[in-house]
Structure 1
Amino acid sequence: MSIPSNYRFASSHEWVLDNGDGTVTMGISDHAQELLGDVVFVELPEVGREVDAGEEFSLVESVKAASDIYSPVTGEVVAINEALEDQPETVNNAPYDGGWIVKIKLADASQLDELLDAESYAATIAE
């Protein structure tokens, strides 16, 4: 299981990558996709949707379960990964690269500081 050191994490297993332009890319962690098993469907939110930190805004279905995805930050969805509509298994194969779910324009960049760094996230999932 990999945990990129430059990513931030929510305790609910979503990751956030700061794009350096006021937006973040978001998906689910390698650990989360392992727990889910083979992903067969990803429900994508609409571009332009406003999301609040902690709000459920997406759904990932696997052969084992369906899991709500929560936004780790507050902002506006500015892009969705449309490739997941035809290839949801990308969440399993490349959770930190091609398996991203959305890009969000941050309402408050300081929220990133409230998320777990890679080391803290690793300690959380080791418990």
Structure 2
Amino acid sequence: MKKYTKSHEWVDTETGLVGITNHAQEELGDIVYVDLPETGTEVNKGDVLLSIESVKAASDVYAPVSGKIVEINSELDSSPELVNEDAEGKGWLVKIEFSNPSELEELLSEEEYKKFLESEGE
């Protein structure tokens, strides 16, 4: 199951995979570079996790939860466009080992995230 943040990240509550939402990749436009962190990096919820560069702008991606980065999507080094093609699938960014799983409860469900997007657009 995925949970979402108001800063447009998602996290898979079972696998620990983290990425940006489809909405975020649409806003960014064509992604040309993903500055992935090192595995083993400890992050706290809300920390800058990495940055993504598109033809429009560079944007920070924030950690939706606290934990240790145990894997990065190295395919993005040669194919950053995967984030545009499948932001909530093959375009995942990092895998986090949760240090505080209760933080997941503070995130939005898919339905809550969709309502948040609708309210932002008003």
Paired letter, 2:53: E
Whether 1:9 aligns to 2:9 is no
TM-score norm. by structure 1 comes to: 0.91
Deviation at 1:96, TM superposition (A): 1.1
Rounded to whole Å, the distance in 1 between the matches of 2:64 and 2:11 is 8
* RMSD over aligned Cα atoms: 0.8
* Residue in structure 1 matched with residue 102 of structure 2 by the alignment: 110
TM-score norm. by structure 2 comes to: 0.95
Rounded to whole Å, the distance in 2 between the matches of 1:126 and 1:65 is 24
Whether 1:122 aligns to 2:114 is yes
Where do 5+ consecutive residues of structure 2 fail to align?
none
3-state SS of 1:97 partner: coil
Aligned pairs for 1:24-43 within 5 A: 24-43=16-35
Aligned pairs for 1:3-82 within 5 A: 6-19=1-14, 23-82=15-74
3-state SS of 1:92 partner: helix
4+ residue stretches of structure 1 with deviation over 3 A?
Answer: none
* Residue in structure 2 matched with residue 86 of structure 1 by the alignment: 78
How many residue pairs were aligned?
119
Rounded to whole Å, the distance in 2 between the matches of 1:83 and 1:125 is 29
Rounded to whole Å, the distance in 1 between the matches of 2:34 and 2:80 is 6
Q: Percent identity?
A: 47
